Amino acid sequence: MKNKKIAIIGAGAMGKKHAQTILKHPDTELVAICDPFSDVMAQEYHVPNYKNLQDLLNQMTLDGVVIANPNHFHVSTAIQCMQHGVICLLEKPLALNTTEALMLLQCTNSCWTSSSPQ
């Protein structure tokens, strides 16, 4: 089986924990970090750091992303990723309020079938 190419969005403590987990799993490959303020994590794991999410999505072929950026960016980040057909794992909280959660649900329903991107 081909390794799943995973990027981490957010280079804070939770992003680092997820990176360590990805590196331990035999079927996953950490291929990029996306964080506008830090190159340190990307250098540590020998992967490129994208300062801009749109650049990451346009330039990399990803099987999934871990969204571990600041909470108030979770929904907008997930929506951008899903619109590019990328599977998302969101760190908690999923959303900051019901309105954001409903936006996320609406995007999920429009971008995905039951098991894969449309």
Start-to-end CA distance of the chain, whole Å, equals: 22
Domain ranges of the chain: 4-111
How far apart (Å, rounded) are the C-alpha atoms in residues 69 and 10?
A: 4
Digit-coded pLDDT (tens) for 78-107: 999 999 999 999 999 999 999 999 999 999
Q: Which long-range contacts (CB under 8 A, 24 or more apart) does 20-28 make?
A: 22/66, 27/1, 27/3, 28/3, 28/4
CA angle 15, 64, 25 (to 5 degrees): 70
Cut 0.75: pTM above it: yes
Which class is domain 4-111?
Answer: alpha beta
- Would you call the peptide bond into 93 cis, given omega within 30 degrees of 0 as the criterion? yes
